[in-house]
Amino acid sequence: MLETLKKLIALPGVSGNEEKVREFIYNRINSYVDEIYIDALGSIISVKYGKWRASGCNNEAVPKVMLSAHMDEVGFVITAINDDGTLKFQTVGGIETGILPGKKILLGNNVPAIIGCKPIHLQEKEEFEKRIEFKNLYLDIGTTSKEESEKFAPIGTYGTFEQQFTILNGGKISGRALDDRVGCAILMTIIECGEEFWNDVYFCFTTMEEIGLRGSKTVAQNIKPDIAIVVEATTCADVPGVEEDAVCTISGNGPALTIMDRSTISDKNLNNFIIKAANSNSLKYQFKRLVAGGNDASSIQRAGEGCRVASISVPCRYIHSSQGVMDKEDMFLCKELIVCTLRSLENTGGKIC
């Protein structure tokens, strides 16, 4: 799974521009699934049919399960080119400006660019005491004219933080786009291990989550699942300077279940079913302890006639920055928990309640 994650992180895939990630995932999984296609918004919808089909069970009674991870990451897009060759840009998805100055990003076909701003030596006191404003940032690709820059990075070119998958001490790994390549890696691993489950399981890799949970809306409308589990990376603030009650999740304490975030109240019955699977298999887990953030579960829950949703997330420090940090074990346990939940469905005729 770590190798898969490393390869996924190496591919650029800013919201709306996920081709390379999509191609990689599609080519890897398509021989393991029964059906696979790409929808109009670029999301991959694949399905592994369930064991119920061979058992002579009634179709109506076996709930459709959807597992979902988003392929896109937060990043940048070029909006204008200045006469001196520097580039104006905007963020795609939520990125805090404070972390940007001095970072190296990669544009288009790996054109390196540095995020520049006025050096501190030349800033007025008021300027450097407050948070840098976006309008004071620009990209420097080393060119000296507009014409030159247009050859390397025309308007509309996408950019990503430079990828650096690194293994840290203590079982931690770091890299850009852990949100949500970790979810993609987990789903790919489950598909490729070849296990069959009772229910039909739809493995979906969605687009444009970071800019408004968009890809998942049409995917869910298409599939009309009864049960959906979103596999994500989530806020983890177990770091210095954060009050205990604002920590949200702790890295190393296992995958995190969401009770409620800003855009979804998880289905209680589904959460309880997942918890039961965790306990029966002695898997550690934690709860997300802050009502913060939102993910694809929100649009999936409300698609069509509605769906029972839950989220299982890997705690990720410094999420939405150039490099997140997560715990290897949390990732493995997240995958285990999903698999154990799917296996438990066999004992209940595929239902959670």
Partner 1 sequence: MLEILKKLVHANGISGNEECIRNVIIELLCNNVDSIKIDNLGNLIAFKKGKGESSGRAKIMIAAHMDEIGVIVTYIDKKGFIRFANVGWVSPFYAMGQRVKFENGIVGTVFYEQKVENMDKLKLDKMFIDIGAASYEDAANLLKIGDTAVFISDFILQDNIIISKALDNRSGCLLAILAAQFGNEYPNDIYFVFTSQEEVGIRGAGSAAFGIQPDLAIVLDVTDTGDVPGCKPMEITMGKGPAIKVKDGSYIASPHARRLFEKIAIELKMPYQLEIMEGGGTDGGSIHISGCGVITGGISIPVRYIHSPSEMCSTNDIKLGIELLTTILSTPLNEYLNNV
Quote the CA–CA distance of 134 and 123 in Å, as a whole number: 15
The contact pattern for partner 1, residues 264-283, with x = CB under 8 A and - = no contact, is: -xxxx---------------
Q: Choose the binding region for partner 1 from 96-104, 258-266, 319-327, 335-343 (rule: CB under 8 A).
A: 258-266
Residue list 289-318, contact with partner 1 (CB under 8 A): 289-291, 301-308
- Residue in this structure with the two tokens 């970071």, named with its chain if needed: 210
User: Which residue in the list 35, 124, 195, 209 is annotated as catalytic?
Assistant: 209
- Cα 218–181–306 angle (5° rounding)? 30
Q: Which helix (H) or strand (E) holds 172?
A: strand 172-175
Minimum distance, C-beta of residue 267 to partner 1, in the bound complex (Å): 8
**Binding to partner 1 by residue 61, rule CB under 8 A?**
no
Quote the CA–CA distance of 188 and 69 in Å, as a whole number: 10
- List the one residue from 260, 280, 284, 348 that touches partner 1 (CB under 8 A): 260
Minimum distance, C-beta of residue 308 to partner 1, in the bound complex (Å): 5
Minimum distance, C-beta of residue 262 to partner 1, in the bound complex (Å): 9
Q: Is 209 a catalytic residue?
A: yes
Among residues 230, 293, 256, the alpha carbon closest in space to that of 66 is found at 230
- How far are the Cα atoms of 5, 212, 221, 239 from residue 77, in angstroms, in the given order? 24, 17, 29, 31
**Binding to partner 1 by residue 250, rule CB under 8 A?**
no
- List the one residue from 263, 276, 343, 346 that touches partner 1 (CB under 8 A): 263
Q: Look up residue 118 and give its two tokens.
A: 């006025």
Helix and strand totals (H; E) in the chain = 10, 17
Which DSSP state fits 274?
H
Among residues 136, 147, 180, the alpha carbon closest in space to that of 326 is found at 180
**Binding to partner 1 by residue 49, rule CB under 8 A?**
no
Helix (H, G, I), strand (E, B) or coil at 170: coil
Q: Which CB sits closer to partner 1, 146 or 289? A: 289
**Binding to partner 1 by residue 212, rule CB under 8 A?**
no
**Binding to partner 1 by residue 244, rule CB under 8 A?**
yes
Q: Which residues bind partner 1 (CB under 8 A)?
A: 226, 244-246, 259-260, 263, 265-268, 287, 289-291, 301-308
Q: Which residues are catalytic?
A: 209
